[in-house]
């Protein structure tokens, strides 16, 4: 049979299409068959089989959904054989996990290999994610999973003894400390080649915010050249095949809104290991509307991070930070980039919490340096920032990555006002993020939320708490409606 | 927008299609959006959103996959509104279940209502199935789930004090006792309106085997009329909307090959309750290649069945039977129907194990009758069978349901022979079933496997153990290849 691209976007699911009247579908195994294998030479592709009416495919054609076509990577018209695939044997291991068994290193290797080879259907992938989320993986299992994820992807080698990194587990909007930490640490001369993600469910990822200033789609060669010269960079990690299993697993975690600690740790540390990091600072913000609600949970998570990180041969420092409200003022790519530049420029208007947190983190990263003793990293970081060397480094990095023309903050504005006077006691991270997303962030880079008050500030009745910025009138309306329906986003005492 | 049927068969998943260039997809929420809601008047349909190239839909059209179109039930061209759906709130309960919480009756009601209203994606449905499979539901939870499944579907009322039924949990091929039990029990005058399933993963379901003899697609009215006159019938249950949640849940359990006890019990008992049964005999076959491997598991399962059944207001009798090998000789619709008729005709060639098991079960069902005391049901059943009254009753039921012309056993035959002489010690239920399926059963009704020897029989080297029957040469080849590759299907000592 010949392959044909069927231009259907199926959310990272490999769907293969056959005509209902084709010989294969009429054979008796087909009615209950849910999977098909397509083979060309030594390339195989396994996917869910959907059958279609005769008007979608010519006789002798097998259709590949967009994602399937990309993964298979062969041109339309390529001759292929089709088969009933052998059952994926590692799914049996997932059944064991569902029954409460602890899986071993070889088991996780099998599972991850099959996932990376796209042999799992979305149903099977979900079963894996839920089984691991529910049984609270043993710490050894987290390690096995993380190692297997590293093995099944590219690993970058920097040829250096020390390559540092920082990572925040997320959940707090506006938390763009990476863009302050990188230039400080790089200015100190430590190699910090940062790969960041774009927003998945948030109003902006670090890659989105950095992209306001410069290009982030760097090849590995360009990244190497920049790090060679400037020690640091902020690239979009999706351009590299680091821990590809992670990307596939996330595609079902996201719609389920599951973020179980075992998988989160394996996900983060596999990416770091694959990116060639030797020393990693992990930031766990704690707060009622953050990912981690209590200090108790944060301490447990820290232990697990440390165990897995150590056994993967990395040095980890896990810092627990305040996640009770957004960090800084801006939420959305341009607004966050503005905060970053204010901090780097030592602008008196720079949000103080954002600056302090960035210095804390940069200091802890610098503490990794063998020449730094006694916790002086923080004062070194401060000196680098205050002296303007961090700003200078940032400008060189931006120049090296390829600067972009300045982007404007969304010009359509509405102000959310306090219903009563008093002390601002609460800001809901989720709801502020949602508001920023409805306003258009991150697709409209200028859209988002700008906080005018932070927790602890005093407020007069009717005084604005935050501004919504949008590029389109309709989006401003969506965000505004959301705020009107959710006044509990802001708490005044 | 207007709806259009997109003739893609998507395995009971509701897929909605929009053109990539439509205004809705270009709005900022769309890129990360995975679900869409279609509304017409008070009808809504929620499904997974796939975006398609411009050549699949006209501007202003929203496409519905085959299943989606059937579920929505409105003609092509119907004007609809499209929305970003509200998150399904009961998915939050599944997250709780994943975290190990025990859910309450109201929780299961919410979940099952949303499932029946097709609000769950396949990923969410899988999460529910795996979460319940893994945490080993509390017995109260099984009861809540079963009750919720009954509530969310039709319930048949027969207006009688006693309506009996029998059910086997499955896993053993050839086990067509229902078709012997029904005429015996009906001949005794007890109402036994049986709804049976077609094969899902097996070479034949009771509905498939009964259909060799007569029509099984009965309306409820016809079923009532037949039961009024003959006391019994064997209808295909899929024609009624009994426990529709079950059908949806099974659609993900099947590809995962998960059959967790809690869900199995809820599934079976919800169907029985909805079918109006008051007294149910449950058959649990035990054997290394049956669904339940050990007697210990079978006893636990019995306890759970009894608890849930009692609290649903049914009288249950749970019988644990021998599941070490197939029951009877024939496996596949026509071959099984032959065994059934041999037993009913008191043919000396009738497989003895099949007859004995059928009498045991029929006797236990007759024991439900308040007039039967002291366990005499079995001798009553035997008397009915031996006297020819069971055969007579079967002929009347077949006549009432609408007889079919006789179907032939598949004429293409190969014999699987013993590699060495000795005692037949083992027959693998799964592998014999697989062989029968590859030969074409149940689609080709005459195809299947005919056992010439049973466990305990002595064998000479080269003596045939079973025959493979097929209608098509190619299928005979598939089944034969499978047997050659799996000689362990048969064990000789």
Per-residue pLDDT reduced to its tens digit, B131-187? 888 767 889 999 999 999 999 999 999 999 999 999 999 889 999 999 999 999 999
The pTM assigned to this predicted structure is: 0.84
Cβ distance A32 to B201 less than 8 Å, yes or no, reads: yes
**What is the predicted pLDDT for the residue at B265?**
94
A56/B20 CB distance under 8 A? no
Which of the four pLDDT bands, split at 50, 70 and 90, describes residue B26?
Answer: low
Average pLDDT over residues A148-159: 93
| B-interface mutation test, from A16, A28, A65, A437, most B Cβ less than 10 A away | A28
Q: Which of A63, A83, A103 is a domain's end point?
A: A83
Report the pLDDT value the prediction gives residue A35, as an integer from 0 to 100: 81
Q: Are residues A190 and A322 in the same domain?
A: yes
Residues A186 and A331 both lie in one domain = yes
pLDDT bucket at A26, cuts 50 / 70 / 90: low
Cβ–Cβ below 8 Å for A50 and B9: yes
Do A229 and A331 lie in one domain? The reply is: yes
Contacts of B98 (CB under 8 A, 6+ apart): A130, A133, A134, A258, A260, B127, B131
CB contacts, 8 Å: B475 with chain A: 27-28
Chain A contacts of B29, Cβ < 8 Å?
437-438
CATH number of the CATH domain containing A143: 1.20.970.10
Mean pLDDT of chain B: 92
CB pairs under 8 A between A and B: 133
- Give the residues across from A165 on adjacent strands: A280
Q: What is the mean pLDDT of chain A?
A: 92
| CB-based burial, B129-159: b 16+ in 10 Å, e otherwise | bbbbbbbebebbbbbbbbbbbbbbbeebebe
B450 bridge partner residues: B330, B467
Give how far A423 is from chain B: nearest CA, Å.
33
pLDDT at A30 over 50: no
Residues of A in contact with B34 (CB under 8 A): 11, 255
Measured at the CA of B259, the angle between CA A46 and CA B250, to 5 degrees, comes to 65
Handedness of CA A28, B489, B176, A33 (dihedral sign): negative
Which residues, in sequence order, are bridge partners of residue B50? B17
A398: how many CB neighbours lie within 10 A of its CB? 19
Task: Decide if A98 and B134 are in contact by the 8 Å CB cutoff.
Answer: yes
In chain B, pLDDT over 90 holds for what percent of residues? 72
- Give the CB-side neighbour count of residue B83, counting CA atoms within 13 A: 12
Q: What is the CATH number of the domain that holds A349?
A: 3.40.1030.10
Nearest-Cα distance to chain B for A247, in Å, is 14
Segment B372-377 mean pLDDT:
88
Between A135 and B265, where is the model more confident?
B265
The pLDDT value recorded for residue B135 is: 66
Question: What integer is the mean pLDDT of B17-28?
Answer: 74
The residues pairing with A61 across neighbouring beta strands, listed in sequence order, are A2
Statement to judge: residues A440 and A299 lie in one domain: no
Give residue for tokens 């960079």: A233
pLDDT of residue A197: 87
**Are A9 and B91 within 8 A, CB to CB?**
no
pLDDT tens, B186-202? 999 999 999 998 887 88
Give, as one character, the DSSP assignment of residue A144: H
Contacts of B88 in chain A (CB under 8 A): none
Full domain range(s) for residue B118: 91-151
3-state secondary structure of B419: coil
Cα–Cα separations (whole angstroms), residue A320 to A316, A357, A398, B9, B58? 13, 11, 30, 50, 53
The two tokens of residue A439 are 């306003």
**Shared-domain flag, residues A330 and A434:** no
Interface test with B, best of A11, A21, A34, A120 (most B CBs within 10 A): A11
A398 pLDDT above the threshold of 80? yes
Spell out which residues of chain A touch residue B86, defining contact as CB-CB under 8 Å: none
Same domain, B487 and B435: yes
Taking CA–CA distances from A437, the nearest residue in chain B reads B29
Specify the residue for token string 């025959």. Answer: B467
How many structural domains does chain B have?
4
Same structural domain, B281 and B357? yes
Higher pLDDT, A255 or B442: B442
A328 closest CA partner among A206, A174, A207: A174
Tell me whether residue A407 is in a domain: no
Q: What is the pLDDT of residue B23?
A: 74
Q: What separation, in Å, do the N-terminal and C-terminal C-alpha atoms of chain B show?
A: 70
- Test B438 with A29 for CB contact under 8 angstroms: yes
Q: Of B401, B432, B452, which closes a domain? A: B401
Asked whether the beta carbons of residue B256 and residue A91 sit closer than 8 angstroms, the reply is yes
- Does residue A406 form part of some domain? no
Q: pLDDT tier at A31 (50, 70, 90 boundaries)?
A: very low
- Residue percentage of chain A with pLDDT more than 90: 72
User: Which chain A residue has its CA at the smallest distance from B438's CA?
Assistant: A29
pLDDT at A87 over 60: yes
Closest to B255 (Cβ–Cβ): which among A123, A129, A254? A123
Residue B30 has pLDDT above 50, yes or no: no
Is residue A302 included in any domain, yes or no? yes
CATH number of the CATH domain containing B63: 2.40.40.20
Question: Collapsing DSSP states into helix, strand and coil, what is residue A243?
Answer: coil
**DSSP structure class, residue A444:** S
Answer whether residue B313 shows pLDDT above 70. Answer: yes
Nearest CA distance, A75 vs chain B (angstrom): 18
Region A200-225: mean pLDDT is 94
Say if residue B12 is in the same domain as residue B138.
no
Check CB contact under 8 Å for A7 and B255: no
Instruction: Quote the tokens at residue B392.
Output: 């007579």
- Residue A225, classified by CB atoms within 10 Å of its CB into exposed (0-12), middle (13-18) or buried (19+), is middle
Question: Mean per-residue pLDDT for A469-486?
Answer: 93
Residue B159 lies in a domain: no
Q: Are residues B145 and B176 in the same domain?
A: no
Query: What is the C-alpha to C-alpha distance for residues A486 and A48, in angstroms, rounded to an integer?
Result: 41
Yes or no, beta carbons of A201 and B55 under 8 Å apart = no
* Residue partners of A428: CB distance under 8 A and separation at least 6: A289, A486, A488, A489, A490
User: Among B164-173, B235-244, B470-479, B484-493, whose mean pLDDT is lowest?
Assistant: B235-244
Q: Please determine, for residue A127, whether its predicted confidence score (pLDDT) is greater than 70.
A: yes
Pick the residue of B34, B35, B134 with the most A CBs within 10 A to test the interface with A by mutation. Answer: B134
- Which of A151, A177, A192 terminates a domain? The answer is A151
Query: So what's the pLDDT on residue A27?
Result: 57
Catalytic residue from among A140, A259, A322, A392: A259
- What are B385's two structure tokens? 């069978």
Average pLDDT of span B327-350: 97
| Chain segment A159-204, per-residue pLDDT in tens | 999 999 999 998 899 999 999 999 999 999 999 999 998 887 889 9
**pLDDT over 80 at B397, yes or no:** yes
b/e burial code for range A305-337 (CB count within 10 A of at least 16 → b)? bbbbbebbebebbbbbbebbbbbbbbbbbbbbb
Q: What is the residue whose two structure tokens read 């050249």? A: A225
| Residue A445 CB-half CA count within 13 A | 18
- A345-384 per-position pLDDT tens digit: 999 999 999 999 999 999 999 999 999 988 899 999 999 9
Residue A322 and residue A164: Cα distance in Å, rounded?
23
Is A199 or B409 the better-scoring residue by pLDDT? B409
Contacts of A7 in chain B (CB under 8 A): 52-53, 55-56
Q: What percent of chain B has pLDDT over 70?
A: 98
Give the residue from chain B lying closest to A125, CA to CA. Answer: B123
State the pLDDT at residue A33.
60
> What φ, ψ does residue A283 adopt, rounded to 5°?
-105, 120
Q: Is the pLDDT of residue A28 over 60?
A: no
Q: Do B8 and A52 touch (CB under 8 A)?
A: yes
CATH number at residue A457: 3.90.1170.30
Q: How confident is the model at residue B216 (pLDDT cuts 50, 70, 90)?
A: very high
- Asked if residue B255 lies in contact with residue A123, where contact means CB atoms within 8 angstroms, the answer is yes
Strands A458-459 and A422-427: antiparallel
Position B407 in a domain: no
Q: Identify whether B450 is a catalytic site residue.
A: no
Q: Are both A481 and A395 inside the same structural domain?
A: no
Residue B470's φ and ψ, nearest 5 degrees, are -140, 160
Answer whether residue A158 is part of any domain. no
Q: Which tokens go with B283? A: 């058959």
Could A126 and B131 be called an inter-chain contact, meaning their C-beta atoms sit closer than 8 Å? Answer: no
Residue numbers in A near B258 (CB within 8 A): 95, 98, 127
Q: In the 8-state DSSP scheme, what is residue B79? A: B
pLDDT, position B115: 93
What ipTM score was computed for the predicted complex, to two decimals? 0.80
Most A CBs within 10 Å: which of B28, B62, B136, as the mutation test of the A interface?
B28
Q: Tell me, yes or no, whether A244 lies in a domain.
A: no
Beta-strand pair B15-19/B61-64: antiparallel
Compare all CA atoms of chain A with the CA of B26 and give the residue at the minimum distance: A443
CB-CB neighbors (< 8 A) of B136 in chain A: 100
The residue in chain B having the minimum alpha-carbon distance to the alpha carbon of residue A12 is B50
Task: Give the angle A16-A21-A22 at the CA atoms, nearest 5°.
Answer: 60
CA distance, residue A98 to nearest chain B CA (Å): 5
Q: What is the mean predicted confidence (pLDDT) over B60-70?
A: 91
Q: Indicate the pLDDT class of residue B28, thresholds 50, 70 and 90.
A: very low
**Mean pLDDT computed over B117-140:** 87
Token output for B93 = 């309960």
Mean pLDDT over B321-325 rounds to: 96
Torsion of CA B387, B393, B395, B396, to 10 degrees: 140
User: Are residue A231 and residue A182 in the same domain, yes or no?
Assistant: yes
Domain co-membership, A467 together with A349? no
Gap between the Cα atoms of A32 and B4, Å rounded: 26
Q: How confident is the model at residue B420 (pLDDT cuts 50, 70, 90)?
A: very high
Q: Is residue A274 part of a domain?
A: yes
Cα–Cα distance for residue pair A115/A368, rounded to 1 Å? 35
Q: Is residue B330 left, alpha or beta, with left meaning phi > 0 and alpha meaning psi from -120 to 50? A: beta
Burial status of residue B195 (CB atoms within 10 A of its CB: 0-12, 13-18, 19 or more): buried
């Amino acid at each position: 049979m010949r392959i044909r691209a069927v231009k259907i976007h199926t959310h990272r699911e490999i769907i293969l299409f056959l005509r209902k009247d084709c010989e294969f579908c009429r054979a008796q195994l087909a009615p209950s068959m849910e999977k098909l294998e397509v083979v060309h030479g030594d390339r195989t592709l396994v996917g869910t089989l959907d059958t279609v009416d005769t008007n979608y495919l010519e006789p002798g054609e097998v259709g590949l959904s967009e994602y399937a076509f990309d993964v298979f990577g062969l041109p339309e018209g390529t001759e292929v054989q089709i088969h009933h695939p052998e059952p994926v044997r590692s799914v049996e291991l997932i059944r064991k996990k569902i029954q409460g068994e602890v899986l071993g290193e070889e088991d996780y290797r099998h599972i991850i290999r099959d996932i990376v080879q796209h042999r799992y259907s979305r149903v099977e992938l979900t079963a894996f994610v839920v089984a691991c989320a529910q049984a609270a993986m043993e710490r050894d299992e987290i390690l096995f999973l993380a190692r297997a994820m590293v093995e099944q992807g590219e690993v970058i080698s920097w040829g250096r003894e020390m390559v540092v990194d920082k990572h925040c587990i997320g959940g707090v909007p506006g938390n763009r400390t990476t863009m302050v930490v990188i230039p400080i640490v790089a200015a100190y001369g430590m190699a910090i080649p940062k790969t960041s993600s774009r927003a998945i469910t948030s109003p902006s990822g670090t890659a989105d915010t950095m992209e306001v200033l410069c290009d982030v789609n760097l090849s590995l060669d360009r990244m190497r050249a920049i790090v060679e010269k400037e020690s640091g960079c902020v690239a979009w990690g999706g351009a590299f095949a680091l821990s590809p299993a992670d990307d596939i697993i996330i595609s079902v975690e996201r719609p389920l809104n599951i973020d179980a600690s075992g998988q989160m740790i394996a996900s983060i540390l596999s990416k770091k290991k694959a990116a060639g990091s030797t020393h990693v600072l992990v930031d766990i913000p704690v707060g009622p509307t953050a990912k981690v609600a209590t200090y108790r949970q944060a301490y447990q998570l820290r232990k697990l991070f440390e165990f897995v990180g150590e056994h993967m041969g990395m040095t980890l420092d896990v810092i627990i930070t305040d996640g009770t409200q957004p960090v800084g003022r801006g939420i959305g790519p341009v607004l966050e980039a503005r905060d970053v530049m204010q901090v780097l420029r030592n602008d008196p208007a720079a949000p103080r919490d954002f600056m302090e947190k960035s210095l804390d983190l940069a200091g802890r990263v610098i503490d990794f340096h063998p020449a730094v003793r006694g916790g002086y990293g923080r004062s070194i970081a401060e000196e680098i920032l205050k002296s303007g060397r961090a700003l200078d480094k940032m400008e060189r990095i931006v120049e090296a990555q390829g600067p972009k023309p300045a982007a404007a903050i969304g010009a359509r504005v509405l102000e959310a006002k306090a219903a009563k006077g008093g002390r601002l006691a609460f800001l809901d991270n989720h709801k502020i993020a949602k508001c920023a997303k409805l306003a258009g962030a991150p697709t409209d880079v200028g859209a988002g939320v700008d906080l005018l008050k932070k927790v602890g500030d005093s407020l007069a009745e009717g005084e604005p708490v935050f501004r919504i910025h949008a590029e389109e009138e309709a989006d401003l309306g969506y965000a505004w409606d959301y705020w009107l329906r959710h006044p509990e986003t802001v708490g005044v005492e």
